[in-house]
Amino acid sequence: MSQPKLHSFVEAWVDVLIGFGVSFAANMLILPRFGYNVSVNHALGIGLLFTVVSVVRGYAVRRLFNRMYRRLN
């Protein structure tokens, strides 16, 4: 039995939102150590763009694996 598409979408968003929080905190702590002056607004903007990319990637990979699983069974 494969995972419904809506569940795949919700799971991808939860995964990415957790990742966004970790990434945002890491960027605010790490980038200044490498000489980059990062404002909260810039970190949020960059994080949001990468979040969209991550959601699309995560959803596509999940659907691909579900399709492969259905073909094997």
DSSP labels for 31-57?
GGGGT----HHHHHHHHHHHHHHHHHH
Model pTM score = 0.61
Specify whether the CB–CB gap between 70 and 19 falls below 8 A: no
Name which residue leads in pLDDT, 34 or 22: 34
Q: What is the pLDDT of residue 1?
A: 63
CA neighbor of 38 nearest in space, from 54, 53, 47, 17: 47
The mean pLDDT of 26-31, rounded to a whole number, is 85
Its domain, for residue 67, covers 5-72
- Count how many domains the chain has: 1
Q: Give the pLDDT confidence score for residue 70 in this predicted structure.
A: 87
Range name among 25-29, 46-50, 64-68 with the lowest pLDDT average: 46-50
Checking if the pLDDT of 64 tops 90, the result is yes
